[in-house]
Structure 1
Amino acid sequence: MLKQDLLSLIEQKRAELIQVACTNGLSSTLAIRHSQELDQLLNQYDKDFLKKIPTHS
Structure 2
Amino acid sequence: MTKTEYLALIEKKRTELIQIVSKNGLDSRITLEFSQELDRLLNQYNSIYYKVQVSRF
Match of residue 52 from structure 1: 54
Q: Does 1:26 align with 2:26?
A: yes
Residue identity in the other structure for 1:5: E
Percent identical across equivalent pairs? 49
CA RMSD, aligned part only?
1.0
Between the two proteins, the alignment pairs up a number of residues equal to 53
Greater share of helix residues, 1 or 2?
2
Q: TM-score, normalised by structure 2?
A: 0.88
Q: TM-score, normalised by structure 1?
A: 0.88
Q: Structure 1, unaligned stretches of length 5 or more? A: none
